[in-house]
Amino acid sequence: MEKEQLVNAAQEMLSKAYVPYSKFPVGAALLTKDGEVFQGCNIENASYPVTCCGERVAIFKAVSQGVRDFEALAVMANTDRPVPPCGACRQVMSEFFEPSMPVYITNKDLEVKETTVQELLPFSFTPADLESGQS
């Protein structure tokens, strides 16, 4: 699948976002190694911190369906610059994605910045660190 198609799949999700509080829709599309695409949008809550970002919705949809082999992630918001994923999403990405996996972040003008999990969250706490520190 082309980068543009994945970006389009992320864009499609902007209309599904449940954002009555922030009015800030975010769409995400996660490509699996099998060529399947899991789409997500942010889902807010009157209890604000319960909100889940679009990126994590897409990742959790895939993982909950038993899929853990990923190829690329696209994220879109109607921002000026390509939207930077929040820290919580970066940590979840580092749990399930290879450090070198491409993350395409985009904005309202469909400008695509290509980055990686490693670039977004260097020196991250990983499952290997957890294992090495257990008594």
Q: Which residues are known catalytic residues?
A: 55
Give the nearest distance from C-beta 26 to Zn ion in angstroms: 8
The interface mask with Zn ion, positions 26-55, x = CB under 5 A, is: ---------------------------x--
Any idea which residue has 């899929």 for tokens?
67
Structure token digits, residue 111: 């400008």
- The yes or no reply on residue 86 touching Zn ion (CB under 5 A) is yes
Q: How far apart are the first and last CA of the chain?
A: 44
Give the Cα separation of 135 and 37 in Å (integer). 39
Residues lying near ligand DUR in the complex (CB under 6 A) = 19, 22, 24, 26, 42, 44, 51, 53-55, 75, 83, 85-86, 89
What SS3 state is found at 87?
A: helix
Binding site partner of 71, from ligand DUR, Zn ion, none, Cβ cut-off 5-8 A by kind: none
Give the Cα separation of 80 and 72 in Å (integer). 22
| Site residues for Zn ion per CB under 5 A | 53, 86, 89
